[in-house]
Amino acid sequence: MSDLSQSVTPSPTAKTAAPDESPKKTLNGAGEKIGAVTVASLRDEFPYFADENAVVYLDSASSAQKARVGLDAMNDLYRHHYANVHRGAYRLSAESTAAFENARRQIARFLDAENSREIIFTRGTTEAINLVAGSLGEQMSPGDEIIVSELEHHSNLVPWQLLAERRKLKLRFWKIDARARLALADLAPLLGARTRLLAMTHVSNAFGTITPAAEAAAMARDAGALVLIDGAQAVPHLSVSVRELGADFYAFSGHKLYAPSGIGALWGRGEVLETMPPWQGGGEMITEVSLARSLYQPPPARFEAGTPPIAEAVALGAVCEWLMTLPRELLRTRLHGIFARAHELLSATAGVEVYGAGVAESAPTFSFNIADAHPHDLATYLDSHGVAVRTGHHCAQPALAALGLEATARASFGLYNNTADAERLAETVAAAANFFKR
Amino acid sequence: MHDLADAELRQLYQESLLHHSRHPCNFGELTPPMREARGYNPLCGDKITVQLRETGDRLEAIAFSGSGCAISLASASLMTEAVKGMTRRETEELFAAFTALCLGAEQARATPLPARHEDLNIFAGVREYPMRVKCATLPWHTLRAVLEQRETATTE
């Protein structure tokens, strides 16, 4: 088994470097060192960019390009170690199970969870949130209240709307300001004796805002409520410690973290998960079944009915492990510099409006528009010039509406981007503004 | 490189298309009695409302409102101009020809636009941009929804 874990887990190539002392320092030259890797060799870890027709990819907040380490882990599992998990009495199934459970431990370490039994594999963030709504939510009583922020992706709003309808609950909304920020002072009056849950994002998918999630979680828990944080946009950019955040649930998707689609995870506080009933029935989540009734497994198996996406889970674990070997603080500073450059250039371009809280309070994602064209027309222009951005409402219609917007263009950055990408974006947007000028 | 891409884009974003998107015809609301339907493109969030009034079998008045990209607004503008005064059957025929026009040259040859509606040819440019075909056809699907007495149309 030891050689298996070696073959699906990359051996650490770099020790975490000391955090960069000066945030002003930029690391953009291709040959520049970041710990044991260079900027250029880091980009090489994402096979898509070896394609000579690779676009300037600025849609990582929607879905990121894939890290080699995850693709290799997936390939290796399918080719050499694949069988169903937790079922077979034979060696191959034991290998598959070991790789799958190793991935759970890798993810637990990545999130700084106390125990890997607190990690539940899901298809992604959306399914993780629906799991909480479909299990914990069904124990709520008519009149109970859930607080949802206005900044949410639809996946952290619609499941609560559906639950509220089923259980006759009341939804209360934590409003954002004109720069897409959440103020703790606005949360306080919403918390009350009937508050059962606060559901909020850690980083806004549409505007990039980093929210005061830890402070909000402390306030909600003081009021006796549980806290669910959507971490889909946060895990690629922030070093997340669920222990420090102090929430009860943390959800994220693999596909935004350079890993395959179809896999994600829900971290749940152990003692809370223990009290929750199953949400889907099937194989793997039971201990004993008779025609009349069944006994359920303890978490996490209780919440993992059916055969999971095994290779995808192993790939996600491998990517988390790999990310932990990189000097993440240094990379974060570097990416923030690239983001700041794009933000600065676009903000200074005539006919361009940039939204949100500004670079200091944001992860490397921002929304903008040009004066004389709808964002879809802008996106077609950018696409024709090899720049991929997302346009539309970004599955966050209430957040856009709060800023008086229906649609925006959104640029979001990943580990593979560089300063040239930021400059290319700005230059192409300026050309588009000119092309569509009335 | 910019010049070449810009020249190709100009085939899509012709002056007349941009003009219609900025100064759309029949933009607004009809006074009752009228019927209406809403069209959605869930992919991008575009929405449009088409209202119409019929006298017997003829489309006597038509208007649209909503928000969207240049292609969908221009398409709605030109559509409302084209179908005004038409019978249902003529509208259906034009719907088929317009859809064919957006899909490809072969389809357009099989179901050509009538000569008097050649101005709709400016939308042939969307063929090169498969992601944008639905922007051009959304107003037409919405019109069809009103005629078929459905409340909503969607491109998905």
Condensed to tens digits (0 to 9), the pLDDT of residues A153-163 reads 999 999 999 99
Tokens 């891409």 sit on residue: B5
B48 vs chain A: nearest CA distance in angstroms? 13
B2 vs chain A: nearest CA distance in angstroms? 7
Can you spell out the DSSP letters for A204-260? -TTT-BBP-HHHHHHHHHHTT-EEEEE-TTTTTTS---HHHH--SEEEEESTTTTS-
Query: For residue A411, what are its two tokens?
Result: 């640029």
Residue among A150, A148, A153 at smallest CA distance from A164: A148
A chain contacts of residue B12, beta-carbon cutoff 8 Å: 380
**What value does the mean pLDDT of chain B take?**
92
A chain contacts of residue B1, beta-carbon cutoff 8 Å: 385
Query: For residue B67, what are its two tokens?
Result: 């928000």
Q: Pick A381's closest partner by Cβ from B1, B9, B45.
A: B9
Q: Pick A376's closest partner by Cβ from B1, B22, B135.
A: B135
User: Inter-chain contact B131–A406, Cβ cutoff 8 Å?
Assistant: no
> What is the Cα–Cα distance from A203 to A208, expressed in whole angstroms?
6
User: Inter-chain contact A376–B13, Cβ cutoff 8 Å?
Assistant: no
Chain B residues contacting A via beta carbons under 8 Å: 1-2, 5-6, 8-9, 12-13, 18, 22, 43-46, 67-71, 129, 131-132, 135
User: Inter-chain contact A385–B2, Cβ cutoff 8 Å?
Assistant: yes
A chain contacts of residue B71, beta-carbon cutoff 8 Å: 376-377
- Taking only the tens place, the pLDDT of each residue in A172-213 is 999 999 999 999 999 999 999 999 999 999 999 999 999 999
**What value does the mean pLDDT of chain A take?**
92
Check whether A26 has a pLDDT greater than 80.
Answer: no
Check whether B108 has a pLDDT greater than 90.
Answer: yes
The pLDDT of B118-144, averaged and rounded, is: 94
> What is the Cα–Cα distance from A10 to B11, expressed in whole angstroms?
50
CATH topology of domain B2-154: Sufe protein. Chain: A (3.90.1010)
Nearest CA in chain A to B131: A380
pLDDT of residue A438: 87
Give the count of alpha carbons within 13 A of B122, CB side only.
22
What share of residues in chain A are helix, strand, coil (percent, to 5)? 40, 15, 40
Check whether B156 has a pLDDT greater than 70.
Answer: no
- Taking only the tens place, the pLDDT of each residue in A422-431 is 999 999 999 9
Residue among A391, A389, A361 at smallest CA distance from A211: A361
B chain contacts of residue A369, beta-carbon cutoff 8 Å: none
Beta carbons within 10 angstroms of residue A116's beta carbon: 18
User: Inter-chain contact B71–A373, Cβ cutoff 8 Å?
Assistant: no
Chosen from A62, A158, A378, A380 to mutate, greatest number of chain B CBs within 10 A: A380
User: Inter-chain contact B70–A438, Cβ cutoff 8 Å?
Assistant: no
User: Inter-chain contact B70–A431, Cβ cutoff 8 Å?
Assistant: no
Catalytic: A395? yes
- Lowest-pLDDT range, A409-418, A424-433, B3-12? B3-12
- Taking only the tens place, the pLDDT of each residue in A36-63 is 667 778 999 999 999 999 999 999 999 9
> What is the Cα–Cα distance from A114 to A212, expressed in whole angstroms?
22
> What is the Cα–Cα distance from A4 to A9, expressed in whole angstroms?
8
A37 vs chain B: nearest CA distance in angstroms? 33
User: Inter-chain contact A384–B9, Cβ cutoff 8 Å?
Assistant: yes
> What is the Cα–Cα distance from B90 to A428, expressed in whole angstroms?
43
Burial of B86-109, coded b for 16+ CB within 10 Å and e otherwise, reads beeebbeebbebbbbbbbeeebbe
- Taking only the tens place, the pLDDT of each residue in A61-77 is 999 999 999 999 999 99
A chain contacts of residue B132, beta-carbon cutoff 8 Å: 376, 380
User: Inter-chain contact A406–B12, Cβ cutoff 8 Å?
Assistant: no
B4 vs chain A: nearest CA distance in angstroms? 10
Reduce the secondary structure of chain B to three states and give it as a string. Answer: CHHHHHHHHHHHCCHHHHHHHHCCCCECCCCCCCEEEEEEECCCCEEEEEEEEEECCEEEEEEEEEECCHHHHHHHHHHHHHHCCCEHHHHHHHHHHHHHHHHCHHHHHHCCCCHHHHHHHHHHHHHHCHHHHHHHHHHHHHHHHHHCCCCEEECC
- Taking only the tens place, the pLDDT of each residue in A353-369 is 999 999 999 999 999 99
> What is the Cα–Cα distance from B21 to B78, expressed in whole angstroms?
10
Q: How many CB pairs under 8 A join A and B?
A: 48
Check whether A227 has a pLDDT greater than 80.
Answer: yes
A chain contacts of residue B68, beta-carbon cutoff 8 Å: 374, 376
A chain contacts of residue B43, beta-carbon cutoff 8 Å: 392
Nearest CA in chain A to B41: A392
pLDDT of residue A34: 66
Residue type at B42?
P
A chain contacts of residue B129, beta-carbon cutoff 8 Å: 380
Continuous segment of H or E residues that includes residue B144:
helix B133-147
> What is the Cα–Cα distance from B85 to B116, expressed in whole angstroms?
14
Domain ranges of chain B: 2-154
pLDDT of residue B115: 92
Check: CB of residue A278 under 8 Å from CB of residue A303. Answer: yes
Chain A residues contacting B via beta carbons under 8 Å: 373-377, 380-381, 384-385, 391-393, 397, 406-407, 431, 435-436, 438
Residue among A210, A227, A316, A213 at smallest CA distance from A272: A227
- Taking only the tens place, the pLDDT of each residue in B19-68 is 999 999 999 999 988 999 999 987 767 889 999 999 998 999 999 999 89
Q: Among A215-224, B51-60, B126-135, name the most confident range.
A: A215-224
Chosen from A56, A367, A370, A376 to mutate, greatest number of chain B CBs within 10 A: A376
pLDDT band of residue A405 (cuts 50, 70, 90) is very high
Chosen from B4, B46, B129 to mutate, greatest number of chain A CBs within 10 A: B46
**Percent of chain A surpassing pLDDT 70:** 91
The pLDDT of A110-134, averaged and rounded, is: 98
- Residue of A395, A403, A422, A429 marked catalytic: A395
Nearest CA in chain B to A374: B69
> What is the Cα–Cα distance from B105 to A383, expressed in whole angstroms?
23
Domains (ranges, CATH) in chain A? 76-323 (3.40.640.10), 329-435 (3.90.1150.10)
Check whether A279 has a pLDDT greater than 90.
Answer: yes
